[in-house]
Amino acid sequence: MAYDASRLRRYLEHDFTYEAGFRRNVQRFGQDVAVVDPPTGRTLTYAELDAVVERTASALAERGTGRGDRVVYQLFNSVEFAVLYLATQRLGAVGVPVNFRLAPAETGHILRESAPTVFVYDGTLAATAAQALEIAGVAPSVVVVGEPGEGGPDGATGFDDALASAGAPVPPLPDDFSTYEETTRLYTSGTTGLPKGVSLPSIVEVMSAHDVIMHFPLGPTDRTLNMTPWFHRGGLYSGGPNPVFYVGGSVVPLRAFDAATVLDWVPEHGITFLIGAPTTLELLADEQERSPRDLSGLRGIVTMGAPLDRAAALRYQRLLTPRIFNGYGTTEAFWNTFLRPEDLPEHAGSAGRACTDDDVRVVKVFPDRKAVPDETVAPDGTEIGEVIMRSPKSGFSYVGIDDDEKFVNGWLYPGDLATWDADGFVTILGRKDDMIITGGENVYPVQVEEVLTEHPKVRDAAVVGVPDERWGQRVVAYVVAHDPADPPSPEELDRHAVDHPGLANFKRPRAYRVVDELPMTATGKKMHFKVAELASEDDADGALTATP
């Protein structure tokens, strides 16, 4: 008798959902802890979390939410965020977590595009929520978490009140619900303009969870704290609720990052993995140097969202844990390369190699067309090209955009420049849009920034180009001092750049400005386009200090 593949196909298409995986863990780990919320002292087992998810799904259904409907929530990392992530999937609806730092017009753009049945916001964002709804011209049911706040939308219901009045049983998903249906919609972090929506189906939820479980690896006894906001792909999916609830571990929400609090919580709450952007790891290392804690319980610290330079990686290994990981990826496709502790220190500074289920290539850059995947640059660690990827964790289009140049024949072209070597290690150099051309030569900001951050007085740096009549563009640098009371002088920085053996003279910044902070996305990516705007203004106003 021939093998009948149709039954397996039906199971994989209709029953192999993230929601089914969570329910399995409610049965397996019902009395085990799923969420620990230190500020409130609240702890939820899987059985208790499931009960709250059920009531929340019921409350959403009472407000008109069903299969395919959108629920927008603008929340800090919290129990309610985790509950909404699960409750929307229980209904076959689409969860749309939104950056709580967005301006009202940006939130309004997302509300208008998503047309949600329900909008949930944190009470501290009341005025922004009201303005966003007015701008969007939509009228969803409105639910507020925490105190209502001043100037909030009319008719908002408290989250707890909504749950208290709910109770109707939530029917199971219909038999024809497909794991390829959209379950989460994330918005890009907006490094170059308005955020764009990326649709993720349930199968991507599952594949993303599997990826993290394999690569950490992550198990039921692990407890994670993701310092990145959960509305971002690296927050929700890298050691956040997505993989943890799928494997049966537990999460600790962090409403606002504070290095001392995070380090205190590691031994106090038995945290085994910390996850965050390189900027947060730098602050952790500073705090640990000032006041050491017992971090022996950590099984690893995972960073992502921005390049991790060699000097930083080695410092974190020394001060925090030898087990430092670095993932490179995007909102569109999650992470696609992964650097493991065993790759250090030899490959510190790289983003690692392709993840288990992913294809990653570094292809040539042509002036008039995109390279096809086989047109790769030499794997010699020096020839620069564009990194592209193909992944089962990927979305494959943007909401409301029929044709986008980033998605080509199943491959994502994110616009990042990189090199790779014969063993497949990829080193990210920056975005094509950020590249500086001075005197006909290409300058990649990341390379110059890494040199500047090796100076003992420099915490961080951003390098951009300003117009120059002679050279086309002139390289300038904005630096953040380790100690604001003792900032580096432009002369010190210039001498450091001149003496550094890894920096050609044409790449050396010709002007500097010391600033308190750099414009960043929520995940620690430098917003070079904003720095470039500031540099143009400063150059015109004479606010940059030139060097010879």
Q: How many C-beta atoms lie closer than 10 Å to residue 82's C-beta? A: 27
Closest C-alpha among 285, 202, 164 to residue 18: 202
Report yes or no on 182 lying in a domain. Answer: no
Report yes or no on 5 lying in a domain. Answer: no
User: What Cα–Cα distance (Å) separates residue 15 from each residue in 88, 95, 202?
Assistant: 17, 19, 10
CA distance 133 to 153: 8
Provide mean pLDDT across the span 31-60: 97
Q: What is the pLDDT of residue 92?
A: 97
What does 126-180 look like in DSSP terms, one character per residue?
A: HHHHHHHHHHHT---EEEEESS--TTPPTTPEEHHHHHHT--PPPPPPPTT--TT
Last residue of a domain, one of 417, 433, 449: 433
> Residues 154, 141: one domain?
yes
> Residues 454, 374: one domain?
no
159 Cβ contact partners less than 8 Å away, ≥ 6 residues apart? 80, 120, 143, 144, 145, 146
Identify the H or E element spanning 197.
strand 197-201
> Residues 295, 390: one domain?
yes
At 177, list the tokens. 């619900």
Last residue of a domain, one of 393, 418, 433: 433
Q: How many C-beta atoms lie closer than 10 Å to residue 369's C-beta? A: 8
Identify the H or E element spanning 445.
helix 445-453
Report yes or no on 10 lying in a domain. Answer: no
> Residues 407, 280: one domain?
yes
CA distance 79 to 336: 28
CA distance 187 to 195: 6
> Residues 55, 134: one domain?
yes
Q: What is the pLDDT of residue 505?
A: 87
> Residues 45, 125: one domain?
yes
In the three-class reduction of DSSP (H, G, I as helix; E, B as strand; rest coil), residue 479 is classed as strand
Q: What is the pLDDT of residue 447?
A: 86
Band of pLDDT at residue 193, cut at 50, 70 and 90: low
Whether the pLDDT of residue 191 is over 60: the answer is: no
Closest C-alpha among 360, 342, 494, 341 to residue 427: 360
In the three-class reduction of DSSP (H, G, I as helix; E, B as strand; rest coil), residue 305 is classed as coil
> Residues 472, 415: one domain?
no
State the CATH number of the domain containing residue 480. 3.30.300.30
Share of residues in the chain with pLDDT > 70 (%):
98
Q: What is the pLDDT of residue 345?
A: 83
pLDDT in tens, 366-390: 988 999 999 999 999 999 999 999 9
As to burial, measured by CB atoms within 10 angstroms (0-12 exposed, 13-18 middle, 19+ buried), residue 30 is: middle
Domain extent, residue 392, equals: 207-433
> Residues 248, 373: one domain?
yes
pLDDT in tens, 234-245: 999 999 999 999
Strands of the sheet containing 182-187, edge to edge, are: 157-158, 141-145, 118-122, 70-74, 94-97, 182-187, 197-201
Report yes or no on 185 lying in a domain. Answer: no
Report yes or no on 519 lying in a domain. Answer: yes
Q: How many C-beta atoms lie closer than 10 Å to residue 215's C-beta? A: 20
Band of pLDDT at residue 192, cut at 50, 70 and 90: very low
Whether the pLDDT of residue 425 is over 90: the answer is: yes
Whether the pLDDT of residue 485 is over 80: the answer is: yes
Report yes or no on 278 lying in a domain. Answer: yes
> Residues 367, 416: one domain?
yes
> Residues 326, 281: one domain?
yes
Least confident of 189-203, 288-302, 463-477, 531-545: 189-203
What does 53-95 look like in DSSP terms, one character per residue?
A: HHHHHHHHHHTT--TT-EEEEE--SSHHHHHHHHHHHHTT-EE
Provide mean pLDDT across the span 37-62: 97
Between the ranges 297-301, 394-398, 522-526, where is the mean pLDDT highest? 297-301
State the CATH number of the domain containing residue 161. 3.40.50.12780
CA distance 382 to 447: 12
Report yes or no on 190 lying in a domain. Answer: no
Q: What is the pLDDT of residue 537?
A: 92
Q: What is the pLDDT of residue 218?
A: 97
Report yes or no on 265 lying in a domain. Answer: yes
For residue 116, report the phi and psi dihedrals to the nearest 5 degrees: -75, 155
At 508, list the tokens. 């050396």
In the three-class reduction of DSSP (H, G, I as helix; E, B as strand; rest coil), residue 366 is classed as coil
Last residue of a domain, one of 156, 177, 198: 177
> Residues 311, 391: one domain?
yes
Provide mean pLDDT across the span 250-263: 97
Band of pLDDT at residue 504, cut at 50, 70 and 90: confident
Q: What is the pLDDT of residue 119?
A: 98
User: Strands, E, within 372-493: which ranges?
Assistant: 385-390, 407-408, 411-412, 416-420, 426-431, 436-438, 441-443, 458-468, 472-481
> Residues 371, 231: one domain?
yes
Q: What is the pLDDT of residue 403?
A: 63
Structural domains counted in the chain: 3
* Residue whose pair of structure tokens reads 């603008």 in the numeric block: 74
Closest C-alpha among 175, 174, 141 to residue 159: 141
**Judging by DSSP bridges, how do beta strands 416-420 and 385-390 pair with one another?**
antiparallel
In total, the chain counts a number of residues equal to 548
